Amino acid sequence: MSDVLAVVEHRRGSLRDVSFELVTAGADLVGDTGGDLHLAVIGGDVDAFAEELSLAGVDAIHTVAEGDEFNHDVSVQAVAALSEELDPTYVLMGNTVNGLDYAPAVAERLDLPLVTDAIGLQNDGGLVVTREMYASKVESTVEVDADRAAVTVRPGEWDAAEEPGEPAVEAFSFDLNESLVRSRVTGFEEVGSGDVDIADADVLVSVGRGIEEEENIELVRELADALGATLSSSRPIVDNGWLPKDRQVGQSGKVVTPKFYIAIGISGAVQHVAGMKGAENIVAINTDPDAPIFDIADYGIVGDLFEVVPELIEQFE
């Protein structure tokens, strides 16, 4: 039997989506190992977070009431101390800005091998991690030649856990070495034109190279408005300066998991698909019936977007 410790994330008073995905990934892994799934909640409103995370598959939630926001030094010490207490076989963290900030330090502190950006986990006598390589064109498997390991999991690859459960909730305290806490979060400042966060949208209307000219984006914006949706794009649109960086979906943009994702004039390059394949429903509009986007689309329209989109706008208005 091998236990798993998953470290959840929060920001500005809310649990991040990857926290619920970590529950699913961890539950799947203990299903292979026969162990228990433990969650670590570090900082913030730990009691409220623990209530949200009381989900099926979770055996125990350990709350660490240290600070309000993520802190590298606090997280490293807390996860290390909790790991020494629980002795988990695997420690799971998000492959996020925060996760990649502290995961290497945790692995070094606990003398664990670290495998990053996992899109699949399996244990059949040993941990096997699936990763993508060469701009997501190839999947590879990494066989971890060690009894214990730390892993960061890519957001959007596992379904978010939703089914309620009744795990034990325990406050965990340890001797925090304040001399090693060299930074504190003093506030947040939005940068760029961050008027929206496309990662929070339920419906995204995304535009790609097929739009041809910058002025044509207004047509797609009208469709988004008619649907009450948020406008997003593929990388070429951002590279051309037609939309700001915060609207970009994909490997070098944001990973999104909306209820509906409408891809207009997007061919479906692997870099873009990596950022939106977790959407519940994908609708693709493209003139090329062999476009890769149709391989993952739930609904497809083969046609000229300049004819299809106005019709859709009329219908939805």
Rounded Cα distance, 92 and 192, in Å: 32
Task: Give 265-302 as a DSSP string.
Answer: S----HHHHHHHTT-SEEEEEES-TT-THHHH-SEEEE
Q: Please report which helix (H) or strand (E) contains residue 85, including its range.
A: helix 72-86
Is 191 inside any structural domain?
Answer: no
Residues 112 and 231 in one domain: no
Residues 17 and 153 in one domain: yes
Read off the pLDDT of residues 26-57 as tens digits, 9 standing for 90 and up.
999 998 888 999 999 999 999 999 999 999 99
Stronger pLDDT, 135 or 84, i.e. the higher one: 84
Stronger pLDDT, 136 or 308, i.e. the higher one: 308
Pick from 31, 86, 88, 40: nearest CA to 61: 40
pLDDT over 70 for what percent of the chain?
A: 97
Residues 77 and 218 in one domain: no
Residues 146 and 242 in one domain: no
Is 207 inside any structural domain?
Answer: yes
Q: What is the CATH number of the domain that holds 148?
A: 3.40.50.620
Residue 252's pLDDT is what? 80
Is 190 inside any structural domain?
Answer: no
Terminal alpha carbon distance of the chain: 57
Task: Give 94-146 as a DSSP string.
Answer: ESSHHHHHHHHHHHHHHT--EEEEESEEEESSSEEEEEEETTTTEEEEEE--S
Domain boundaries, position 8 = 4-180
> Are 94 and 155 spatial neighbours (Cβ–Cβ below 8 Å)?
yes
Read off the pLDDT of residues 90-116 as tens digits, 9 standing for 90 and up.
999 999 989 999 999 999 999 999 999
Read off the pLDDT of residues 283-302 as tens digits, 9 standing for 90 and up.
999 999 999 999 999 999 99
Pick from 98, 36, 109, 33: nearest CA to 71: 98
Is 110 inside any structural domain?
Answer: yes
Read off the pLDDT of residues 152-175 as tens digits, 9 standing for 90 and up.
999 888 999 999 999 999 999 999
Residue 192's pLDDT is what? 53
Residues 253 and 126 in one domain: no
Residues 151 and 241 in one domain: no
Is 185 inside any structural domain?
Answer: no
Residues 169 and 251 in one domain: no
Is 196 inside any structural domain?
Answer: no
Residue 138's pLDDT is what? 83
Rounded Cα distance, 62 and 42, in Å: 8
Residues 228 and 296 in one domain: yes
Residue 135's pLDDT is what? 64
Residue 14's pLDDT is what? 93
Chain centroid, CA 93 distance in Å? 11
Rounded Cα distance, 251 and 291, in Å: 19
Q: What is the CATH number of the domain that holds 284?
A: 3.40.50.1220
β-pairing verdict for 149-153 and 90-94: parallel
Residue 317's pLDDT is what? 84
Domain count, the chain: 2
Is 239 inside any structural domain?
Answer: yes
> Are 224 and 261 spatial neighbours (Cβ–Cβ below 8 Å)?
no
Q: 242: pLDDT confidence band, cut at 50, 70 and 90? A: very high
